[in-house]
Amino acid sequence: MLLTTGLGSTETAPFAIFNTDPGAEAGNVGLPARDLILKLVPVDGKWEARVKGPNVTPGYWRNPALTAEVFDDEGFFCLGDALRFAVPGDPSAGFFFDGRVAENFKMSTGTWVNVGALRARLIDAMSGLVRDAVILGEGQGRLSALLLPFRPAIERLIPGGAGLSDAALLAHPDLRRALAAGLSAHNAAHPGLSLRIDRAMVIDRPLSFERGEVTDKGSVNQRAIRNGRPDLAARLEAGGAEVIRPLAQPATD
């Protein structure tokens, strides 16, 4: 059975870049479709992918502001994705997905945060209790995270969890200890400034599709949540009882 990969978006209908080479390395998203032009723009050490072609939408219905935001001055649609060459300097060999440049941001130190990679590492450290995470810290000196809980796993962690309300489940001390341990494990493995998470908080209200917090594919829109829920960032910064911090590490000689 032939398995292949590609890259596109709803705005590209959705076919854009596709791998038709059966000998290509796994994960290679291939080359632009016929009549589609791919432009690579250097952005903070990565190549941002932009496309133009007959399959690309001319804009968003009755939303000229958003349309202007996602097209550059040459009429290319900005996918928000980065690509890397499968073979350096040889575009004919195809490309690999290299993260979401639209989600990345700078800290006050000037250090760039690769949100996609950091988010994946943080979720892995949470032992299935978290289904996604939103990374905060743009223009700041430290990083924090908003955690989207995964209720089925939390119910298994907490005795009688299936019978508890969302509020009671998310405030349970067993869950808080488990998340704090996950933060500690993540930070021990990734102590760098652009990877370490100093504090976290569980998102206690469902995400909104209408506000663009969830895409039509069901993925989390990092920037929409960061920009649209300033109250969560303020609660994190206030450092109240709902804020989760890594477990204290034992002193070493």
Considering the segment(s) 6-100 as one domain, its CATH architecture is Roll (2.30)
Q: What was the pLDDT predicted at 100?
A: 86
Q: 3-state class of 40 per DSSP?
A: strand
Helix (H) or strand (E) holding 115: helix 115-125
List, in sequence order, every residue forming a beta bridge with 200; answer none if it has no partner: 145, 244
176-192 average pLDDT score: 97
Quickly list DSSP for 17-28: EE---TTSPTTE
Residue ranges per structural domain of the chain: 6-100, 105-238
203-221: per-residue pLDDT in tens?
A: 988 888 888 888 766 788 8
212 or 18, which is more confident? 18
pLDDT class of 248 with cuts at 50, 70, 90:
confident
Q: Read off the DSSP letter of residue 212.
A: T
- How far, in Å, are 51, 52, 74, 79, 212 from residue 71 at the CA level? 9, 10, 8, 9, 19
Nearest Cα residue to 93 out of 153, 145, 31, 141:
31
CATH superfamily of 105-238: ANL, C-terminal domain (3.30.300.30)
